[in-house]
Amino acid sequence: IRSFEETIQKGMQYPSQPVAQSFFYLNIHAQGAILYAKFLEFAASSSVEEAKAKQTEYFNYYRKNESVIQNVFDVYEFINTIQRKKYWN
């Protein structure tokens, strides 16, 4: 993801609005994927409290961006789906 950030930033400046908008959404999800990876790293290491904190950070990131992505991404359903998985005992 990090190696693709420059391409995403350039794409967000593309003259065609639909293309630029697509890169905007991609940027939001790319940053979300980085947060998700951090959360999974802590969940896999059995650091439950740290994992829960990262999960909250991850969810809050999407909640914060919900108003701009709600047309293409259901944040409520996404969070509910992620919460169904048991990452720790």
Rg, the chain, Cα only: 15
User: Is residue 51 within 8 Å of 43, Cβ to Cβ?
Assistant: yes
CA dist., res. 13 & res. 57, Å (int): 28
Per-residue pLDDT of the chain (89 residues; tens, 9 = 90+): 999 999 999 999 999 999 999 999 999 999 999 999 999 999 898 788 999 999 999 999 999 999 999 999 999 999 999 988 887 76
**Domain locations in the chain as residue ranges:** 2-84
